[in-house]
Structure 1
């Protein structure tokens, strides 16, 4: 479908507002968690405010993607936005932690629908060559939310109360819904009238089991449960594969994996999840311990990383849309990130803080160079009937890789620090505040331990990005087409 320039700009603005709202909801809650747990009196269930949201958003991606192909992305998008506003209202009125977690699960599902359908709608109304620029604009919502969210959440919690962290979504969501109803065109579905119910159920249960297993494997008391869930997940994915091979309209079209572009982009998406998202989660802890910074100052390095990602994301989207050539950017990006993480591994103890800030900004720029480009490429290589499914699969690979990567890095960090700490210090009660109050000798010892534990982690993540160079080189060359989706021939058997 071809839109007028004015209608397209209004659509992009609408999708950007909605995408920012969904991305912000995940980050704005983090600074209010302690307050919420204290007022609701359920500290032991605190982690499920975030885990429930992330888990539900991840497992529903393939289902929502295929649903958009069947009934049309506009219907799924509008329904997700309405559900998101209602769930936000319910979160603020939560009288107990159980109520809040249930509402957060609904929020996660609806947020996944918002983000996924935003990407799918853009794919349906733009040409492959235009797509990287608009994907970059919409994708900018995520890094901006990472920077703004925690600060905004803290301010709202301090001055208005934690309920407004959720209620603020209601007026903004209503405005966004009004914009969406005006701007988002009616896009037909009906690609596959039969929905893969069996595949959806088995995949959802298997992925839930896998994410729970990864979440629990680092806790000694839950190790047996984690192993059982790993076994359930493995058996479930085998059954899922059998179902998908026989299904008329599978939620994850396995035949698309024969496309070289799609396969390479899925590899790049996994590397972003495992390589960057897993790193940024633990950077504040590293700098508080190894560089002895305050919590506020420790956030400067992740912010530098995100800003580098944001700049490169927008620049790459503009350049690819202008020239049509896309292959150099993932190659340069993965090489930059691999080199930056290698430098992080080799940095000596006691280096000035501005040095890792610059290095991690380079890592962010490298990743930003292809983080949203991969969506434009997979969409340009899939038939129109599978746009939602292939976009969902790309998101899913990134989410699962991020979950697994974060769990592995956290496990290595916990084990490594506990093994190297002297017997006079307890890893379970070691906090930055306690270290900063200790003697200079203890501070030096802890700083060196964290440096020695993180160095091989950075080195391993550099190797992950080095594998990404291979995936980027595997992308076929050429230019993105200027033809709109309505006139482009079915690309199922073509490369970009």
Structure 2
């Protein structure tokens, strides 16, 4: 479907607004966690405020993607936006933690639909050649939210109260909803109207069990529950295979996994999740302990990383839209990421702070060169009726890679630091403030410990990016076309080769 330039601009503005809402919500709330949990009297369970949101956003991706293919992305997008805004309102009025967690689950579900349908709608109204530029614009919401979210969350919590962390979504969301009602076209559903309900249920339950098993594996108190979840995964996978083989239109169509371009893009999405997102959360702690920086100063390193991602993503989207050629960018990007993470592993303990900032900015530039580009490429390889499913699968692989990678990195860091700390220091109570107040000799010793623990982590993630180089080289050469996708009536979905 071809839109006028004016309507396309309004559509991009609406999609960028809601994508920014979903991305900002996650980072804003993280700053307010302690205040929220303290007011509700549930500090020991405050992690579930984030976990419930993330679980819902991850588990519902394939279901929402397939639903968008069946009933059309506009309906799913508008329903997701209304759900997100209603849940935001409820979150602010939450009288206890259980109420808040339930509302956060709904928020996560709505956020997943907004992110996914924004990418799907762009794929339905633009040509493959135009797509990288618009994907990069919408994808800019994530790095911007990482930079401004914690600051905004802190200011709102300090001056307005934590309820406004959620209510601030409402005025922006209502404007975005009005724009979306006007700008988002009535895109038809796919050629396969049936929905795989049994497959959706089993897939969602299995994925939830996998995420919980990985998340809980490092906690001694929750390890029995993690084992139960792992068993559920082992049972759920073969059951899902049987259901999907018999389904007329499975929740994850096997035909999309027979395409080489799609498989390569899924591999690159896994590299982004497991390679970068798994380490960004731990970089500030590493900088505070190894470089003896304050919490504020340590935030400069991840900021440099995401700003590198933002600039690189926008530039790559513009360049690919001009030429249509895309194969070189994932190869160069994964190579830059591997080189940057390998450099982080060998940096000496006493290096100036600007050195890791530049190195991690290089990692961000490399990652940003293909983070959003792969969505445009994977969508160009899929049939029109599978756009939602293939976009959801690409997002899902990234999210699972991030979850598993974060758990693995956290386990290695926690175990390594506890085993290597000098006698008399407890890893469970060691804070950056205590380190800065300690004797210089103790500070030096702790800095060496953190450097020695993180060095193999950086090397391991560099190896992940090196595998990404090999994967990127397998991407078939090609050129994105200028043909805009047509409705199903005039352009039936392609059949898999």
TM-score (norm 2): 0.98
Counterparts of 1:210-229 in structure 2, within 5 Å, are 210-229=210-229
Residue in 1 that maps onto 2:322: 322
- Whether contact under 8 Å (2:59, 2:208) holds in the other structure is yes
SS in 2 for 1:369: helix
* Cα distance between partner residues in 2 of 1:246 and 1:462: 41
Q: Deviations over 1:33-84 (max 9, x none)?
A: 1111111110011000000000000000000000001111000000100111
| Structure 1: gaps (5+ residues) | none
- Whether contact under 8 Å (1:338, 1:466) holds in the other structure is yes
SS in 2 for 1:220: coil
1:5 shift after superposition: 1.0
1:488 shift after superposition: 6.9
1:109 shift after superposition: 0.2
Residue in 2 that maps onto 1:69: 69
Counterparts of 1:474-489 in structure 2, within 5 Å, are 474-486=474-486
Residue in 2 that maps onto 1:189: 189
1:377 shift after superposition: 0.8
1:491 shift after superposition: 4.8
Residue in 2 that maps onto 1:176: 176
Alignment of 1:402 with 2:402, yes or no, is yes
- Whether contact under 8 Å (2:340, 2:359) holds in the other structure is yes
Residue in 1 that maps onto 2:373: 373
* Cα distance between partner residues in 2 of 1:412 and 1:151: 29
- Whether contact under 8 Å (2:210, 2:229) holds in the other structure is yes
* Cα distance between partner residues in 2 of 1:490 and 1:187: 15
Change in 2 beyond 3 A, CA 1:126/1:395: same
Change in 2 beyond 3 A, CA 1:370/1:492: farther
* Cα distance between partner residues in 2 of 1:425 and 1:19: 44
Residue in 2 that maps onto 1:140: 140
- Whether contact under 8 Å (2:306, 2:361) holds in the other structure is yes
- Whether contact under 8 Å (1:14, 1:176) holds in the other structure is yes
Change in 2 beyond 3 A, CA 1:469/1:492: farther
1:224 shift after superposition: 2.0
Residue in 2 that maps onto 1:20: 20
* Cα distance between partner residues in 1 of 2:49 and 2:282: 19
- Whether contact under 8 Å (1:382, 1:492) holds in the other structure is no
* Cα distance between partner residues in 2 of 1:55 and 1:262: 25
* Cα distance between partner residues in 2 of 1:431 and 1:129: 50
Residue in 1 that maps onto 2:206: 206
Q: Deviations over 1:172-214 (max 9, x none)?
A: 1111100000110000114321100000000111011111111
* Cα distance between partner residues in 2 of 1:488 and 1:324: 22
* Cα distance between partner residues in 1 of 2:127 and 2:254: 25
- Whether contact under 8 Å (2:190, 2:384) holds in the other structure is no
- Whether contact under 8 Å (2:385, 2:493) holds in the other structure is no
* Cα distance between partner residues in 1 of 2:297 and 2:100: 32
Residue in 2 that maps onto 1:164: 164
Residue in 2 that maps onto 1:126: 126
Residue in 1 that maps onto 2:234: 234
SS in 1 for 2:425: coil
Counterparts of 1:299-338 in structure 2, within 5 Å, are 299-338=299-338
Alignment of 1:154 with 2:157, yes or no, is no
* Cα distance between partner residues in 2 of 1:34 and 1:358: 32
SS in 1 for 2:161: coil
Residue in 2 that maps onto 1:262: 262
Q: Deviations over 1:267-303 (max 9, x none)?
A: 0000100000001010000001000000000000000
Residue in 2 that maps onto 1:354: 354
* Cα distance between partner residues in 2 of 1:190 and 1:453: 50
* Cα distance between partner residues in 1 of 2:440 and 2:310: 38
* Cα distance between partner residues in 2 of 1:383 and 1:93: 44
* Cα distance between partner residues in 1 of 2:296 and 2:237: 43
Residue in 1 that maps onto 2:54: 54
Change in 2 beyond 3 A, CA 1:339/1:254: same
Q: Deviations over 1:312-366 (max 9, x none)?
A: 0000000000000000000000000000000001111110000000000000000
- Whether contact under 8 Å (2:344, 2:458) holds in the other structure is yes
* Cα distance between partner residues in 2 of 1:190 and 1:476: 27
SS in 1 for 2:100: helix
* Cα distance between partner residues in 1 of 2:493 and 2:474: 22
| Structure 2: gaps (5+ residues) | none
Residue in 1 that maps onto 2:42: 42
SS in 1 for 2:485: coil
* Cα distance between partner residues in 2 of 1:227 and 1:214: 10
SS in 2 for 1:66: helix
Query: Please, what is the CA RMSD of the aligned residues?
Result: 1.0
* Cα distance between partner residues in 2 of 1:401 and 1:234: 18
* Cα distance between partner residues in 2 of 1:247 and 1:374: 28
1:423 shift after superposition: 2.1
* Cα distance between partner residues in 2 of 1:36 and 1:50: 12
1:10 shift after superposition: 1.0
* Cα distance between partner residues in 1 of 2:317 and 2:131: 8
Change in 2 beyond 3 A, CA 1:246/1:190: same
Counterparts of 1:416-435 in structure 2, within 5 Å, are 416-435=416-435
